[in-house]
Every structure is written in structure tokens, then in C-alpha cells.
Amino acid sequence: MDEQHHKRIFVVLHQVVVILLVMVVVVVGPSSCVKGGEEEDRILELPGQPKVSFQQFSGYVTVNKVAGRALFYWLTESSQNSLRKPLVIWLNGGPGCSSVAYGASEEIGPFRVNRSASGLYINKFSWNSLANLLFLETPAGVGFSYTNRSSDLHDTGDRRTAKDSLEFVVQWLERFPRYKNRELYITGESYAGHYVPQLAREIITYNTNTKYPINLKGIMVGNAVTDNYYDNLGTVTYWWSHAMISDQTYRQLISTCDFHRQKESDECESLYSYAMDQEFGNIDQYNIYAPPCNNSDGSAATSRRAMRLPHRPHHPAVRQLSGYDPCTEKYAEIYYNRPDVQKALHANTTGIPYKWTACSEVLNRNWNDTDVSVLPIYRQLMANRIRVWVFSGDVDSVVPVTATRYALAQLKVATKIPWYPWYVKNQVGGWTEVYEGLTFATVRGAGHEVPLFKPRAALQLFKSFLSGSPLPKS
């Protein structure tokens, strides 16, 4: 057999192989042919999970190979027409708290953890009825996200978090290409008042240097850390106006504390301690009108979640009561430490040398970089026609409504629709005002985690945000 004949046979065989590969891709689907693609992240079913119609995926994206930093995510696709729905990223704050623990498991996600931590039940007000929800645990060291460089846990902050989160989004979209051109919204609460606008700014910068821009449309933050000075001034004012502290303590705080400073004087910190320890009493700072989650002996159960602002003394706050159960965080910590749950989630695959916790004390205590104010970022986002919504549960004393109103007033933007009550189920859901480039809304009777306390109102808020329309007047 001559050499020419050999070549012809080789060409024919090569063509056959190519045709077979094309047929496999068409029949099976491209994701099944790509190692490391989305199929490897598919969740078949979580332990104790009720049957659902939507798809779920979870896993890791390495955002820094040198340090070995990898961020964990959990995607719950929309329960209706997911291919036509936007992608919404949810971030929790702390800094150091888990979006799986809070956003996914007791706020906007499709499931709640039951009391025995034996399984899950449906949240009928889940935001995945309107969008595909991507819960991201950021930065490395939060929840299941990890780093192989231990020094990262003792030296982190806003800048690295924003850059790692951008790297996550870019790589995640490569893994899930069907989301590449989808509308993207970033949402969150508390210290995510920093994470959300900072990530949005990183995306805007990224979009100026790429042929394939990320389709960012808007951001929404709740009870959000915004500006050091006005957050602190507004918080102390809220305490006094809601009779949580005495006239004397209020006057001393105002005259003694320099709210512009990142770290307060010892005298100021002592006043904060006195107010919290002696004058607040056994209340839940995250919802001042709800009884806290108490231990079996009647004493207050402290929460690891307690959001400790870098510019405020570190004091634990007791856990809040929701319309459901004040102790849901305890159930989450049992459930997500179960080996069968971690296996189903493709989590803890490297054997993290510590238990999964709702919040990382190590990260919180070593937060070394924080923006003094995110108001300049708001201005930048508004100039780029990014939709900006800010909401505030009005019975939260940690990042209260007065703090947010003081901060937003500094933007000095024109009013489009004056202050009015908005409605849900024929009841006042809260109050709102629409400005040029920004909408502000309160949620009546909601604590720090608005969707936990007022799930129906929060869902209406989310619906209006996605549509870009004012909240209903009747």
C-alpha cells in the first residue's frame, strides 16, 4: 500500500471523527463536552430538599492562582422562564458574612432550613420567581470561599474584595456562556453597601477595556453602610429619637465622638459601650421591636453575624426575630456543616481547616481597607446610567434609616417624584422618593434584613426595581 493511499485513509478517518464529535455536541450539548463546564457544578438535589422545577448549580471559581484564592457560589435559576430572566448577584456584608447563610437561606433564596436542620422548605416569596439568583461568598475566607495563603485572612479589605469579585464574574460568565449577554443586577445589604457599588465600578472600568462588556444594568442595596460620618451621626440620632439612649448619653456622644475618624477615641468607645450595655437593654439591635433569640435559660443569644462596622466599636448584638423563627442562623450552621450537604453543593472540596460559619470573626477583626464613603461611586454609576436603588428597613438600629437619609442627602440630586407612601396588599409597605438617577424607599416595620421580616414587601420592591418603575401608589 503506497504512501498516498495511507494519506487518503487518514483524511477520511479524520473527517469521520470530526463528524462524530459534531454529532455528540449537537445531541448531548456543548456543556457536557467541556471539562470544568457548568455541568460539573450542577446540583442534583440537596439533602431534605423539596422537589423544585428550577435548576441549581454551585462550586468554586479560582480568582487568584498564586495565592490559591477561590470563591464559592450558589446559583438558583428562575422558577419561570429562566432563559428570559436577568441574572442577579446577591452579596451579604459583615464584613465577613456569608450570602449562603443569609441571602440564600433566610432572605431571598428559594429555601429555608428547618428547625432540626434535617432539610429545607420552600420560601414562597423567593426572588427567583423574578430572576436567576447568584449568591456569592466573598471575599476569600467567607463561608466556603477559601485561600491557601493564610496571611490573606489577616490582611483584606474593600479593594481586594472588589477585584476578586470582578475576576469571579468574568470567569463565571465563561463557565456559563448563556448568561454572557443577559442583563445583570447586583444587590445586597449591610456592609455590601460597599461591595455592591465597588463591584459595579470595577465592571464599568472592565467594560471600557474589553470587546465583550458585561451587561450591568443596576444596583440595589438595603440598610447599607454608605458614609462613615453620616452613618455614625444618623445611627446615634436614631438611638436617641427611638428612646434607646438618654438625652445625656446622646449629648455626650455628639460632643465627644469625631464621626469622621476611622477609629474612635477611647472616651468615645466607652460611651458606645455604656449605651449598648447599660441603656439598650436586652433588645435585638437589628429589629428593635422584636424579642431576641434567647438561650434556654432566658439569656440573650449573641450572634456571630452581628455586623461590626470597621469605624464603630466591636460589640456583639443579639440575634433577631423574624416572622418565622429568630434562631434560623443556628439551623443553617448545623445544616451547612453536614458532609452530605457539602458534597451535594460541591463545597469544601479542599478540606478547609475550620468549620463553616455564617460569619468570619477573623476577617471582620482584620479588615484593613475600607472606603470612607461610597457616595462618589454612586455619582459615577448614575453618570453611567446605572440604575441605583437604596432601601431601608425602618426598625433597624445598626444601619438605620436616618443614617441612610443623611448620607443620600449629600448627593444633592433633584427630586423627580416627591415623597409618598407605597403599597403592597392594600397596606402601606413604606415610603419612597424618586430622584434623578436614584430611588430611595423605606420598608415599614422591617429590620436590618428586610426580606426576612417583610418578605412580601421586599418582593414588590425587587419587582419594581427590575422593571425600573416607581413603587405602587395604591
> CA 83 to CA 377: how far, in whole Å?
31
Alpha-carbon radius of gyration of the chain: 24
> CA 423 to CA 131: how far, in whole Å?
22
Q: Which helix (H) or strand (E) holds 64?
A: strand 56-64
Place of cell 444596583: 219
Q: What is the 3-state secondary structure (H, E, C) of 150-188?
A: HHHHHCECHHHHHHHHHHHHHHHHHHCHHHCCCCEEEEE
Q: Which of 392, 396, 397, 464 is catalytic?
A: 396
Contacts of 280 by beta carbon, 8 Å cutoff, 6+ apart: 244, 245
Q: Give the dihedral of Cα atoms 138, 142, 146, 147; nearest 10 deg.
A: 80
Nearest to 184 by CA among 231, 139, 133: 133
The Cα angle at residue 36 between residues 31 and 41, in degrees rounded to 5: 80
State the amino acid at position 306 in one-letter form.
A
Question: Where do the H-state alpha helices sit in 208-360?
Answer: 228-241, 247-256, 266-274, 328-335, 339-345
Which grid coordinates are listed for 112? 429555608
CA–chain centroid gap for 473, Å, is 28
- Partners of 165 in beta bridges: none
Nearest to 450 by CA among 389, 376, 364: 389
Question: Do the beta carbons of residue 90 and residue 108 sit within 8 Å?
Answer: yes
> CA 290 to CA 301: how far, in whole Å?
14
Active site residue 32: no
> CA 65 to CA 175: how far, in whole Å?
17
State the amino acid at position 46 in one-letter form.
L
> Euclidean distance between the first and final Cα of the chain, in Å?
87
Q: What is the largest CA-CA distance in the chain?
A: 104
Contacts of 410 by beta carbon, 8 Å cutoff, 6+ apart: 227, 230, 375
Active site residue 373: no
What are the phi and psi torsion angles at 291 (to 5°)? Answer: -65, 145
Which grid coordinates are listed for 237? 440620632
Question: Do the beta carbons of residue 91 and residue 426 sit within 8 Å?
Answer: no
Active site residue 448: yes
- Mapping DSSP to helix (H, G, I), strand (E, B) and coil, where does residue 283 land? coil
Q: Which of 158, 303, 448, 464 is catalytic?
A: 448
Q: Which of 78, 190, 303, 322 is catalytic?
A: 190
Please count the other Cβ atoms lying within 10 Å of the Cβ belonging to residue 387: 18
The residues assigned a catalytic role are 190, 396, 448
